[in-house]
Amino acid sequence: MLPDPLHPVVVHFPVVLAVLLPIFAAGALWTIRRGTTPRRAWLLPVGLAAALALSSWVAVQTGEAQDERVENVVAERPLETHEEAAEAFLAMSGGLVLLMAAGLARGVVGRSARVLGTVGAAALVVAAARVGHTGGQLVYRYGAAGAYATGADTTARTRTALAPNPSEGDKASDARRRPRRDD
């Protein structure tokens, strides 16, 4: 059985793949320099790039499927910012697959595509961080999870009521904040 909502589960795959891809691409360049045939060494980065593009597409699709429900809880602008960042990331990851696949070619074309693909993969980490950041803001700053939570208002009020008040002078927390001096 699939979790509901599916989007928060799926979005972690492109983030992880975006971080791993430049590492594996750089490793493939290193093994090529050490004598491995370029086509053999470059297959793994191409496969990771394809998995990244596919997982990005699934993340965008699941996000769009849950868009209307979240719109009832979150203002339009932060949601649009996240959607635009995700769509740009999907387009960039799709373009990167083509560039990485060109790295399987022989000669100058393949060599150039491998180097540019590795640089592009590293740059894509920044785009992944932006999508992740805007998504995190939707959940933690704008309360997007409230679209799926039951009794979210009471839970939030309960948490606020139970939170310690720093002005009350909680001696235990004051002791934890003060550095200890060993004389």
The string of DSSP letters for 134-155 reads HHHHHHHTS-GGGGT-SSHHHH
Within-domain flag for 156: no
Per the structure, the complete domain to which residue 25 belongs is given by 7-151
Within-domain flag for 166: no
Within-domain flag for 173: no
Q: For the chain, how many residues are written?
A: 183
Q: CB count, 10 Å around CB of 20?
A: 16
Q: Tokens 């932060």, residue? A: 78
Band the pLDDT of 145: cuts 50, 70, 90. Answer: confident
105-139 residue pLDDT tens: 999 999 999 999 999 999 999 999 999 999 999 99
More confident of the two residues 151 and 83: 83
More confident of the two residues 117 and 174: 117
Within-domain flag for 2: no
Structure token digits, residue 120: 């592009």
Helix H segments across 66-165? Answer: 67-71, 76-102, 107-140, 152-162
Q: Which of 18-22, 63-67, 139-143 has the highest mean pLDDT?
A: 18-22
Within-domain flag for 179: no
What CA–CA distance (Å, rounded) separates 98 from 113? 9
Instruction: Provide the number of structural domains found in the chain.
Output: 1
Position 182 scores a pLDDT of 54
